[in-house]
């Protein structure tokens, strides 16, 4: 399978689709939609192929040999002059157990989101072209192993997202779109700065023995590659590694979104069309935590070890604060948005534990949150399409009117609460197992468990307000699910149940990489000596 550039294919297929769409005449709505569906469908198939051929035993993280489906060739090379050095950037793709689940997630969520986009009415052509561009950006972030390439993919997503919220969004779409854009750009300029700092601090040894500055992520994880006087070199006593870590962390935290950088999220979610909310919550938020795992952790292991308490603390704040905010919402969609804030807190808590259980839990929670929240947003979309309101107090007694819908909602809600037998339970348990094991963050972990209680509170209360009680006669004409809505909800439900019953499907995929990561983090602080403290 090594001959087929699977990762390039899965990443750039949407771009090809986009170009085709741009050449199609405007009124060919059916063709445009079907083409997008086909492209995202093929992505799911490619994802399954990748999954089938993925070798569970390889760890990845810092060792190129144990990455899979690697594609690497020279992309930019500028010959050397003494003061500028050779500039060399690789086109370098590859996946390990951290990125593989997220690729599957992205493929599935994008496919579902395409279905959810079916009722877009204006400017179909522009919508699906941007949608596919966004798709490429998301896939690219998860497969790129060169920091420069990663950054390009990271930034490519901003503009389509701006337009998708800004043109096809709700009443306050302009405000929400610009807020999203400015926040994320603010984060990414800090990432850029840290990236350049890393680039100027580490060299890679080429085949001919010459040393050149590098954007290669794996080379940046190797303490030996840092030059003695590099500003981000552990060997340099006056290094700025803590600042670089924070710059990257803030950049990624804005995407998670971590308190206090979360305020763009409720606005973006409430105004975005359903499909974009699904993508936003399902995939985009994971990029924040993925970036921390892929870049902050292995490139700054010694600082990571010292700052885990803070990461856990902010995880806890996210969990509790998000849940409390969710409790106070009167808008269904905003409630789900805040529940995302809360659930991403679990990911951070798991990451902070730095042990196999916790980090596995975090990665699994990323996947599970992706599928569960996607379901929740589809659910909100379904009711909003019918009732044109999302006020929680406007409903009541829908269980009799829309029994099948209610069934799906119940599954999704229970999965979000973390009921045993559904996927959310497994990941949250792993997160708490891992985090409780670490003495320094035990108290934080204990307080965080409150989040589950609060989660049950707002979810069940919502269930009660919408589906139980007397049916408001205004809604007596609401219809149950259509075929398209079944097609969106059933695959997600299957995933949620399957991973709840048999989590090894995902855990096996990530296990070896998580172990490699944890060992790397525990071992390498010694090599990355020369701490700024």
Partner 1 sequence: MSIEYFLNSLYLIKPEIVVTTFLVFVVLLDLFSNKRNNLLPFFSILGLLVTGYFVLEQFGLKGLAFVTSDSRAMVSVDSFSAFFKSIVVLSSIYFILMTVYSKEMEETFDRTGEYYTLMFGMVLGMFFMISGSDLILLYLSVELVSLSSYVMAGFAKNSEKSSEASLKYLIYGALSSGLMLFGISLIYGLTASTNLYELNPLLIVSEANSFILMFAMLLIFAGIGYKISAVPFHFWTPDVYEGAPTPVTAYLSVASKAAGFALLIRLIKVSFIAEKDTFGFWIYNPIFNWQDFLVIISVATMTLGNFAALWQKNVKRMLAYSSIAHAGYLLAALAVLSDTGLVAVLVYFAVYLLMNLGAFLIVIFIKNKTGSEELDSYDGIGFSMPFLGVSFTIFLVSLTGLPPTAGFIGKLYLFIALVDAKMFVLAIIALLNSVVSLYYYIRILKHMFLAKPSENSPKEELSAVQFIILFSLVIPVLLFGVYFSPIVELAKNSILLLGF
Residue 369's region, left for phi above 0, alpha for psi from -120 to 50, else beta, is alpha
Residue 412 beta carbon to partner 1: minimum distance, rounded to whole angstroms: 32
Cβ nearer to partner 1, comparing 151 with 264: 151
Is the Cβ–Cβ distance between 462 and 334 less than 8 Å?
no
Is the Cβ–Cβ distance between 309 and 440 less than 8 Å?
yes
d(CA 399, CA 468): 6
What Cα–Cα distance (Å) separates residue 156 from each residue in 134, 170, 385, 492?
7, 23, 30, 27
3-state secondary structure of 89: strand
Q: How crowded is residue 238: how many other Cβ atoms within 10 Å of its Cβ?
A: 8
Would you give the distance in Å from CA 184 to the centre of its chain? Answer: 14
Q: Which residues bind partner 1 (CB under 8 A)?
A: 75-79, 81-84, 87, 123, 151-152, 155-156, 158-159, 162-163, 166-167, 173-174, 177-178, 181-182, 185-186, 189-190, 192-193, 196-197, 199-200, 231, 240
3-state secondary structure of 278: helix
Cβ nearer to partner 1, comparing 251 with 350: 251
| Secondary structure element (H or E) that encloses residue 70, with its range | strand 68-78
d(CA 45, CA 51): 10
Cβ nearer to partner 1, comparing 123 with 515: 123
Residue 79 beta carbon to partner 1: minimum distance, rounded to whole angstroms: 7
Residue 259 beta carbon to partner 1: minimum distance, rounded to whole angstroms: 21
Residue 318 beta carbon to partner 1: minimum distance, rounded to whole angstroms: 24
Cβ nearer to partner 1, comparing 186 with 404: 186
Cβ nearer to partner 1, comparing 139 with 495: 139
Cβ nearer to partner 1, comparing 167 with 212: 167
Cβ nearer to partner 1, comparing 169 with 315: 169
Is the Cβ–Cβ distance between 187 and 253 less than 8 Å?
yes
Residue 58 beta carbon to partner 1: minimum distance, rounded to whole angstroms: 30
Structure tokens at 7: 């990762």
d(CA 341, CA 318): 6
Residue 290 beta carbon to partner 1: minimum distance, rounded to whole angstroms: 19
Residue 257 beta carbon to partner 1: minimum distance, rounded to whole angstroms: 17
Structure tokens at 205: 């040894």
């Amino acid at each position: 399978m090594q001959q087929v550039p699977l990762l390039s294919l899965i990443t750039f297929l949407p771009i090809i689709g986009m170009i085709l769409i741009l050449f199609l005449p405007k009124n060919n709505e059916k063709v445009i939609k079907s083409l997008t569906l086909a492209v995202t469908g093929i992505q799911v198939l490619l994802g399954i192929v990748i999954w089938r051929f993925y070798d569970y035993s390889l760890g990845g993280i810092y060792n190129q040999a144990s990455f899979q489906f690697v594609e690497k060739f020279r992309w930019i090379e500028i010959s050397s002059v003494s003061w500028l050095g050779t500039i060399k950037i690789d086109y370098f793709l590859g996946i390990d157990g951290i990125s593989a689940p997220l690729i599957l997630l992205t493929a599935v969520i994008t496919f579902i989101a395409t279905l959810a986009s079916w009722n877009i009415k204006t400017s179909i052509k522009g919508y699906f072209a941007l949608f596919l561009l966004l798709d490429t950006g998301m896939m690219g972030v998860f497969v790129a192993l060169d920091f420069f390439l990663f950054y390009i993919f990271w930034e490519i997503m901003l503009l389509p997202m701006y337009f998708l919220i800004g043109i096809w969004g709700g009443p306050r779409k302009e405000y929400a779109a610009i807020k999203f854009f400015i926040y994320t750009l603010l984060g990414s300029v800090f990432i850029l700065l840290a990236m350049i700092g890393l680039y100027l601090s580490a060299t890679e040894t080429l085949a001919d023995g010459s040393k050149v500055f590098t954007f290669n992520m794996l080379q940046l994880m190797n303490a030996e590659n840092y030059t003695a006087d590099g500003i981000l070199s552990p060997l340099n006593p006056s290094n700025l590694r803590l600042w670089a870590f924070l710059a990257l962390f803030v950049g990624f935290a804005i995407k998670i979104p971590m308190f206090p950088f979360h305020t763009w999220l409720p606005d973006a979610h409430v105004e975005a069309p359903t499909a974009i909310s699904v993508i936003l919550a399902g995939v985009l938020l994971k990029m924040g935590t993925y970036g921390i795992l892929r870049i902050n952790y292995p490139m700054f292991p010694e600082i990571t070890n010292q700052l885990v308490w803070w990461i856990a603390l902010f995880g806890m704040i996210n969990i509790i604060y998000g849940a409390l905010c969710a409790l106070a919402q009167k808008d269904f969609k905003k409630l789900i948005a805040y529940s995302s804030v809360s659930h991403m807190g679990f990911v951070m808590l798991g990451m902070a534990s730095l042990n196999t259980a916790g980090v596995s839990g975090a990665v699994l929670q990323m996947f599970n949150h992706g599928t569960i929240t996607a379901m929740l947003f589809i659910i909100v979309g379904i009711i909003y399409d019918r009732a044109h309101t999302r006020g929680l107090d406007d409903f009541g007694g829908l269980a009799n009117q829309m029994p099948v819908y209610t069934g799906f909602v119940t599954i999704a809600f229970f999965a979000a609460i973390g009921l045993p037998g559904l996927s959310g339970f497994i990941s949250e348990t792993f997160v708490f197992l891992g985090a409780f094991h670490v003495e320094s963050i035990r108290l934080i972990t204990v307080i965080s468990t409150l989040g589950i209680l609060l989660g049950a509170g707002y979810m069940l209360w919502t269930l009660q307000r919408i589906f139980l009680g007397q049916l408001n006669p205004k809604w007596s004409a609401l219809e149950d699910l259509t075929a398209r809505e079944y097609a969106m909800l059933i695959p997600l439900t299957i995933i949620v149940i399957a991973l709840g019953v048999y989590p090894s499907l995902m855990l096996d995929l990530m296990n070896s990489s998580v172990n490699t990561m944890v060992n790397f983090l525990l071992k390498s602080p010694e090599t990355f000596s020369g701490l700024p403290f």
